[in-house]
């Protein structure tokens, strides 16, 4: 009898609070295995990654659905954990299987080794976005395993092609599977916590409520081909260089933005100075590619007749892209130079900052980081959230990890990694969020 009582008491204790040490360890192991899968985009064959998620979800008694959208293997996964109030629209946890390519020579470890070293998990995708995806997964699995029913349905969608703007991932799922999603809220990537990036010497968690518009331009200069031994003013490379110089002379934008204003208020004006905070306060242009030359390998003694560059422009929400381009053309003002739009920007505006989910998220963060500041922010890069905002979904981009500027800079770069301790804590913050009222 005493024995039975112990078993029952033990079981009810388990239902109340998960065995975090074991959950966290399983999550770290899973992330290591996930990082070993080369789900590089292109080609974004994410079948193996989807199978890894599926097995874990099915073990817990959940029923994931797999949607392969291209013959080459782009694969989506959707799973739902039913909540108490089925009349409320779900919270969507959105993450992606794909990662950007690597330059292995620039890494000190195997980028697909899933290695734990010096307190970090290393590997392409650790930050973007396999780490956060694993937290989503294990927060969800832990809810299911402990029998804690969320206030409303939780849906998780994992997509194969976020890194190439999501035509066969989030776009296809919104188009073809909307009844399985139809969320009121989405938690996606974007913001994070930092002691130095947002405000000097202050622990701040930035939750992305909006993002800058992505505008990609191709600039082409036409000149005259000639022998390199005799310089000419019609050298296409020189025409292009001159035009680029003028294009980059952006006038200061006087426009203020609600999300940045909220951030300024919450940080009492103490915004750190770095490339991230600079980028979210203004329109920016990066010169990303230069292409010219005749022959392969290129001839050093031939002046080419054409020369090309691409410009990655990021505009604040509310800025008119057509006006931005025509102002650039006016600055360049050279008939030998053309400027063409490669990608049309999207501007769904920013998500509301006063929702019950935002309050629940703030409370979940403060439980683990008392005294921290939680603020809405804008992010300089694009995410899949833009397409959900267009559908009217309130979207927040956030990973609940404290990261320093050097770690954040490894995203899409070399030596990508996340701190193990923050990963473990982040998983618990997500769990806290999923079991709150919102
Ligand atoms: Zn990403």
Mean pLDDT by 10 residues, the chain (438 residues): 48 68 98 98 97 98 98 98 97 98 97 98 97 98 96 98 93 98 97 94 97 96 98 98 97 82 94 93 96 96 98 95 97 98 91 97 98 97 92 97 91 96 98 97
The residue segments making up the domain with residue 217 are 213-343
Q: Is 241 found in the same domain as 177?
A: no
Q: Is 92 found in the same domain as 32?
A: yes
Among 306, 323, 343, where does a domain finish?
A: 343
CA of 131 to the centre of ligand 1 (A): 10
CA of 98 to the centre of ligand 1 (A): 8
| Residue at 5 is within a domain | no
Question: 296: domain CATH number?
Answer: 3.30.70.360
CA of 130 to the centre of ligand 1 (A): 9
CA of 434 to the centre of ligand 1 (A): 21
pLDDT of residue 401: 98
From its phi and psi, is residue 137 left (phi > 0), alpha (psi between -120 and 50) or beta?
alpha
CA of 46 to the centre of ligand 1 (A): 14
Task: Find how far residue 288's CA is from the centre of its chain.
Answer: 20
| Residue at 369 is within a domain | yes
CA of 117 to the centre of ligand 1 (A): 23
pLDDT of residue 11: 44
Q: Is 114 found in the same domain as 33?
A: yes
CA of 132 to the centre of ligand 1 (A): 10
Q: Is 160 found in the same domain as 39?
A: yes
CA of 189 to the centre of ligand 1 (A): 6
CA of 71 to the centre of ligand 1 (A): 23
Q: Is 232 found in the same domain as 159?
A: no
Residue 287, CA distances (Å) to 84, 215, 240, 305, 438 in order: 51, 12, 12, 21, 43
CA of 66 to the centre of ligand 1 (A): 20
| Residue at 16 is within a domain | no
Distance CA 336, CA 219 (A): 10
Q: Is 321 found in the same domain as 186?
A: no
| Residue at 121 is within a domain | yes
Split into its structural domains, the chain has a count of 2
CA of 190 to the centre of ligand 1 (A): 8
Q: Is 244 found in the same domain as 180?
A: no
Q: Is 42 found in the same domain as 170?
A: yes
| Residue at 311 is within a domain | yes
| Residue at 49 is within a domain | yes
Q: Is 47 found in the same domain as 183?
A: yes
Question: 67: domain CATH number?
Answer: 3.40.630.10
Q: Is 317 found in the same domain as 237?
A: yes
CA of 409 to the centre of ligand 1 (A): 14
Distance CA 109, CA 117 (A): 9
Q: Which residues contact 263 (CB under 8 A, 6 or more apart)?
A: 198, 206, 271, 375, 376, 377, 378
Q: Is 192 found in the same domain as 71?
A: yes
CA of 129 to the centre of ligand 1 (A): 5
CA of 87 to the centre of ligand 1 (A): 31
Q: Within 10 A of 36 (CB to CB), how many other CB atoms are there?
A: 15
Among 312, 343, 374, where does a domain finish?
A: 343
Q: Is 108 found in the same domain as 47?
A: yes
CA of 68 to the centre of ligand 1 (A): 20
User: Which residue is listed with tokens 């309050």?
Assistant: 359
The CA angle 357-211-209, to the nearest 5 degrees, is: 15
Report yes or no: 217 and 310 within 8 Å, Cβ to Cβ.
yes
Distance CA 299, CA 296 (A): 7
CA of 412 to the centre of ligand 1 (A): 9
Distance CA 304, CA 287 (A): 20
CA of 359 to the centre of ligand 1 (A): 25
Among 307, 323, 343, where does a domain finish?
A: 343
| Residue at 302 is within a domain | yes
Q: Which residues contact 72 (CB under 8 A, 6 or more apart)?
A: 43, 44, 45
pLDDT of residue 404: 87
Distance CA 273, CA 284 (A): 16
| Residue at 15 is within a domain | no
CA of 96 to the centre of ligand 1 (A): 7
CA of 16 to the centre of ligand 1 (A): 33
CA of 133 to the centre of ligand 1 (A): 10
Residues with CB under 5 A from ligand 1 (ion): 128-129, 189
pLDDT of residue 1: 46
CA of 101 to the centre of ligand 1 (A): 13
CA of 411 to the centre of ligand 1 (A): 9
> What is the pTM assigned to this prediction?
0.89
CA of 277 to the centre of ligand 1 (A): 19
Report yes or no: 30 and 137 within 8 Å, Cβ to Cβ.
yes
Report yes or no: 410 and 119 within 8 Å, Cβ to Cβ.
no
Residue 182, CA distances (Å) to 60, 88, 163, 386 in order: 24, 10, 23, 15
């Amino acid at each position: 009898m005493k024995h039975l009582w112990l078993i029952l008491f033990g079981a009810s204790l388990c239902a109340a609070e998960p065995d975090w040490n074991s959950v966290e360890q399983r999550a770290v192991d899973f992330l290591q295995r996930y990082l070993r899968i080369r789900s590089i985009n292109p080609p974004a064959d994410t079948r193996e990654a989807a199978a890894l998620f599926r097995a874990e979800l099915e073990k817990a008694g959940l029923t994931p659905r797999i949607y392969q959208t291209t013959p080459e293997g782009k694969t989506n996964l959707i799973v739902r954990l039913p909540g108490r109030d089925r009349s409320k629209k779900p919270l969507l946890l959105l993450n992606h299987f794909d990662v950007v390519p690597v330059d292995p020579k620039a890494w000190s470890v195997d980028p697909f080794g899933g290695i734990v070293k010096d307190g970090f998990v290393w590997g392409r995708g650790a930050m973007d976005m396999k780490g956060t995806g694993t937290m989503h997964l294990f927060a969800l699995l832990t809810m299911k395993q402990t029998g804690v029913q969320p206030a409303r349905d939780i849906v998780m969608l994992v997509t194969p092609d976020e890194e190439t703007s999501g035509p066969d991932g989030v776009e296809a799922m919104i188009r073809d599977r909307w009844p399985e999603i139809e969320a009121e809220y989405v938690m996606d990537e974007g913001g994070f916590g930092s002691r130095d990036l947002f405000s000097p010497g202050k622990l701040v968690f930035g939750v992305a409520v909006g993002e800058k518009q992505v505008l990609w331009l191709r600039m082409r200069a036409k000149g005259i081909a000639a022998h390199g031994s005799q310089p000419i003013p019609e050298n296409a490379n020189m025409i292009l260089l001159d035009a680029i110089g003028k294009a980059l002379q952006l006038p200061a934008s006087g426009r203020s933005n609600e999300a940045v204003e909220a951030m300024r208020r919450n940080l009492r004006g103490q915004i750190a100075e770095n490339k991230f905070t600079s980028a979210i306060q203004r329109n920016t242009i990066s010169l990303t590619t230069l292409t010219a030359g005749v022959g392969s390998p290129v001839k050093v003694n031939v002046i080419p007749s054409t020369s090309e560059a691409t410009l990655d422009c990021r505009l604040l929400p509310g800025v008119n892209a057509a006006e931005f381009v025509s102002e650039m053309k006016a600055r360049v003002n050279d008939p030998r130079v053309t400027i063409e739009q490669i990608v049309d920007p999207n501007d769904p505006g920013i998500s509301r900052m006063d929702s019950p989910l935002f309050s629940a998220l703030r409370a979940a963060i403060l439980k683990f980081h008392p005294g921290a500041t939680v603020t809405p922010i804008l992010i300089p890069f694009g995410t899949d959230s833009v397409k959900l905002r267009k559908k009217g979904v309130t979207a927040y981009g956030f990973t609940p990890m404290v990261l320093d500027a050097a770690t954040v800079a490894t995203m899409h770069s070399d030596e990508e990694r996340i701190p193990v301790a923050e990963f473990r804590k982040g998983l618990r913050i997500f769990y806290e969020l999923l079991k709150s009222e919102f």
